Structure 1
Amino acid sequence: MNPLDRYEPLVDDREAFREACERPLPYAVRVNTIKATVDRVTRAFDEAGVGYESVDWHPALLTLDGKAGRTWPYFLGWVHGQEEVSALPASVLDPDPGDRVWDACAAPGSKTTQLAALMDDRGTLVGNDNSLGRLSALRHNAERLGVTDLVVTNQDARNFSLKPLDFDEFDRAIVDAPCSCEGTCRKNPTVLDEWTLDHVHQVVGIQKGILRRAVQATREGGSVVYSTCTFAPEENEAVLDHVLDSEDCRLVEFDPSLETSPGVTEWEGQEYDPSVELARRVYPHQNDTGGFFCAKLEVTG
Structure 2
Amino acid sequence: MDVLARYEPLMDDPAAFRAACERPLPQAVRVNTLKTTVERARAALDAEGIDYEPVDWHDTLFRIPTDKPGNTWPYFHGWLYGQEEVSAVPALVCDPEPGDRVLDPCAAPGSKTTHLAALMEDTGLLVANDSNLGRISALRSNTERCGITNVAVTKSDARNFSLKPFDGEKFDRALVDVPCSCEGTIRKNPDALDEWTLDHVEGVSGVQKGILGRAIEVTRDGGTVVYSTCTFAPEENEAVLDHALENYDVELVDYDLPLDHAPGVTEWDGTEYDSSMTRAKRIYPQHNDTGGFFCAKLEVAE
Per the normalisation by structure 2, the TM-score is 0.99
Distance in 1 (alpha carbons) for counterparts of 2:251 and 2:240: 13
Per-residue deviation, 1:168: 1.7
List aligned pairs for 1:49-64, cutoff 5 A: 49-64=49-64
Provide Cα deviations, 1:198-226, integer angstroms capped at 9, x if missing partner.
Answer: 10011011000110111111011110000
Distance in 2 (alpha carbons) for counterparts of 1:178 and 1:131: 12
Distance in 2 (alpha carbons) for counterparts of 1:285 and 1:167: 44
- The one-letter amino acid of 1:18's match is R
Distance in 2 (alpha carbons) for counterparts of 1:163 and 1:104: 15
Where 1:140 maps in the other structure, the secondary structure is: helix
- Percent same amino acid at aligned positions? 67
- How many residue pairs get aligned? The number is 301
Where 2:296 maps in the other structure, the secondary structure is: strand
Contact 1:260–1:280, Cα closer than 8 Å, also in 2:
yes
Provide Cα deviations, 1:74-96, integer angstroms capped at 9, x if missing partner.
Answer: 11100010100011000100100
Distance in 1 (alpha carbons) for counterparts of 2:2 and 2:54: 34
Q: In the alignment, which residue of structure 2 is the partner of 1:26?
A: 26
Q: In the alignment, which residue of structure 2 is the partner of 1:95?
A: 96
Contact 1:173–1:224, Cα closer than 8 Å, also in 2:
yes
Provide Cα deviations, 1:49-88, integer angstroms capped at 9, x if missing partner.
Answer: 1000111111100001213211110111000101000110
Contact 1:229–1:293, Cα closer than 8 Å, also in 2:
yes
- The one-letter amino acid of 2:265's match is V
Q: In the alignment, which residue of structure 2 is the partner of 1:75?
A: 76
Q: In the alignment, which residue of structure 1 is the partner of 2:44?
A: 44
Distance in 1 (alpha carbons) for counterparts of 2:60 and 2:158: 30
Q: In the alignment, which residue of structure 2 is the partner of 1:226?
A: 227
Where 2:142 maps in the other structure, the secondary structure is: helix
Where 2:252 maps in the other structure, the secondary structure is: strand
- The one-letter amino acid of 2:181's match is S
Provide Cα deviations, 1:123-176, integer angstroms capped at 9, x if missing partner.
Answer: 000000111111000000000000110001101111110101134200000110
Q: Pairwise CA RMSD of aligned residues?
A: 0.7
Q: In the alignment, which residue of structure 2 is the partner of 1:107?
A: 108
Structure 1 residues not aligned, in runs of 5+:
none
Q: In the alignment, which residue of structure 1 is the partner of 2:300?
A: 299
Distance in 1 (alpha carbons) for counterparts of 2:123 and 2:187: 35
Where 2:193 maps in the other structure, the secondary structure is: helix
Q: In the alignment, which residue of structure 1 is the partner of 2:268?
A: 267
- The one-letter amino acid of 2:10's match is L
Per-residue deviation, 1:193: 0.9
Per-residue deviation, 1:2: 2.0
Where 2:226 maps in the other structure, the secondary structure is: strand
Per-residue deviation, 1:12: 1.1
Distance in 1 (alpha carbons) for counterparts of 2:154 and 2:46: 39
Contact 1:2–1:193, Cα closer than 8 Å, also in 2:
no
Distance in 2 (alpha carbons) for counterparts of 1:128 and 1:196: 28
Where 1:69 maps in the other structure, the secondary structure is: helix
Where 2:206 maps in the other structure, the secondary structure is: helix
Distance in 2 (alpha carbons) for counterparts of 1:137 and 1:248: 35
Where 1:164 maps in the other structure, the secondary structure is: helix
Distance in 2 (alpha carbons) for counterparts of 1:257 and 1:237: 21
- The one-letter amino acid of 2:24's match is P
Q: In the alignment, which residue of structure 2 is the partner of 1:15?
A: 15
- The one-letter amino acid of 1:134's match is R
Contact 1:100–1:170, Cα closer than 8 Å, also in 2:
yes
Distance in 2 (alpha carbons) for counterparts of 1:97 and 1:167: 21
Distance in 1 (alpha carbons) for counterparts of 2:57 and 2:247: 34
Most deviating of 43-52 and 160-169:
160-169
Distance in 2 (alpha carbons) for counterparts of 1:158 and 1:192: 26
Where 1:24 maps in the other structure, the secondary structure is: coil
